[in-house]
Structure 1
Amino acid sequence: MAEKKPRILQNNKDMAWSLIPLLLACLVIAAIAGQCSLRVGGPEAGQVPRIDLGASLQADADALDFPIRRPEVPAEWIPNSASRPAVTGADAVASTVGFVTPAGSYLGLTQSDAGEEELLRFRADGARTDGQGVESTAGTEWVVYRGEDTEPFWIADLGESRALITGSGSQDEFLTLASAVASAPVLDPR
């Protein structure tokens, strides 16, 4: 039977030789699972996920008690997200959809029956915002809010509901979405 090495003879070299087989085993398992890759030159942008905008908004129109509009955005805009969060601080729910523009910007549209202040507080996530004026498009006035280190927020009162637009888009992209929302038909619940 082999005797154990005396403690005085155990050193960093022995530890390294013990870890090498473990690291090789981890690399083999990662390669087999396909979870490891090496890309010289850095990462590449992947494909933007796409959702069915019409189906998402129709589901919200069927489930919520306020009018939901389906904006006709440019064909090259990719609808990529949808959710139905509860508006904190108000007894209300919101319908939220997001778009990725050809420039790579993101614009989010939130529709809710919550009041303007509650909706702004909810989407601004508690950040301090100040009114910066009004933008008019397609016969609808949008109150523009900006805050330090926040994206702009455009809010319009559409009668029984409010719409809020936010994101990293340009002024022209905000105007395009605002115009599409203002002129969009209200979806009939099924």
Structure 2
Amino acid sequence: MSYQKPRTQHDYKDLFWSLLPLVLICLVIAGIASQCTFSAKGPTQGQIPNFDAKAALTDDARTLSFPVRLPALPDNGPGKWTPNSGSHDTIVGAGGGAVSTVGFISPQGTYMQLTQTNATEDALAKKIMGNQYASGTEQVGDRKWVVYGDPGSEPAWITDFGDVRVLIKGAGNHDIFTTLATAVDNAQPLPKKAQQ
């Protein structure tokens, strides 16, 4: 006759020994599927998805009613900016409009978002930043950017080009924001029609 403790006498040690086989089985399955690796030096950056920002923004310039800019960012060498994503959206309601967004991985390895829209600044800020309010401004060249964000959160900078609002947001430091803001400011709107 085997002895079993009453359930009321089970403790954390019993729980640990019960879960250990399950954890080991999960690790073996993940290892076989090559979905996890061990690195003694900590996490390493994975492969960045390939995204053609130039083609996406050129197409947006042809189809959207507002001017779209393609910032000239370094795409090779140690200061490489790598486009990795893009999307379209619509801000509905008062002050809304079409939205074009492209994401970049900065030279620091941080994600930076570039959003262009014909929506108002208030509508854009509410869509992207929720209930966070303007907390100051940044002057980059001749252009003023309104900074949104709470301490400890990723900030967003928004500027007004007259017929389009531009938002940059991400985990980059001040230099990364300034580099992207300068590149956007220096960029001319892409042509509305395909080049012959």
Aligned-residue sequence identity (percent) comes to 41
From 107, 115, 120, the counterpart of 2:120:
115
- Residue 189 of structure 1 and its aligned partner are, at CA, apart by 1.7
Question: Residue 168 of structure 2 corresponds to which residue in structure 1?
Answer: 165
Deviation track 1:47-94 (CA, whole Å, cap 9, x = no partner) reads 111211110101111121000011101221101111011124443111
Between Structure 1 and Structure 2, how many residues are aligned? 171
Q: Which residue of 1 aligns with 2:73?
A: 73
CA distance in 1, matches of 2:164, 2:31: 52
| Coordinate RMSD, CA, aligned | 2.8
Q: Specify every segment of 5 or more residues in structure 1 that has no aligned partner in the other structure, as ranges.
A: 1-7, 12-19
1:4 aligns with none
Task: Using the TM superposition, name which of 79-88 and 178-187 deviates more.
Answer: 79-88
| Deviation >3 Å, runs of 4+ | 26-32, 34-44, 88-91
Matched ranges for 1:51-70 at <5 A: 51-70=51-70
Structure 2: unaligned runs, 5 residues or longer: 5-20
SS in 1 for 2:127: helix
Query: Over alpha carbons, which structure has the higher Rg?
Result: 1
Q: Which secondary structure does the structure 2 equivalent of 1:147 belong to?
A: coil
Name the counterpart of 2:11.
none
User: Aligned partners of 1:52, 1:156: CA distance in 2, in Å?
Assistant: 25
Partner of 1:85: 89
Deviation at 1:40?
A: 6.0
Assess if the C-alpha contact under 8 Å between 1:135 and 1:144 holds in 2.
no
Q: Distance in 1 between matches of 2:99 and 2:120?
A: 11
TM-score (norm 1): 0.76
